[in-house]
Amino acid sequence: MPTTAQKWGGSIGVRIPQQIARKYGIVNGSQLNISEDGKQIILTPIDTSYTLDELLSQCIGENPHPEYFSEPAGKEEL
């Protein structure tokens, strides 16, 4: 599927056809890794989805937001 490289600011960019973008889950703002193997340029979507365990592993120590777990301050208990 041919496309044309175009100058965008100080870089050269190419457009990814919608059919291919959908196939690989690429949307506006998706991060892609760009690599090359000496013969070709390779674009690889970066998986930016995280599991709950991965997110929780970034938490260190006690809960940093104790105000959310303090005594009721209003009509929370109806």
What pLDDT was estimated at residue 70? 66
For the structural domain made of 6-60, what CATH number should be given?
2.10.260
Return the number of other C-beta atoms located less than 10 Å from residue 54's C-beta.
9
Residue spans of the domains in the chain: they are 6-60
Tokens of 78: 């109806």
Summarised one tens digit per residue, pLDDT across range 35-70 is 999 999 999 999 888 888 888 888 877 766 666 666
Q: Is the pTM of this model over 0.95?
A: no
Say if residues 14 and 6 touch (Cβ distance below 8 Å): yes
What is the per-residue burial (b if ≥16 Cβ within 10 Å, else e) of 6-36? eeeeeeeeeebeeeeeeeeebeeeeeeeeee
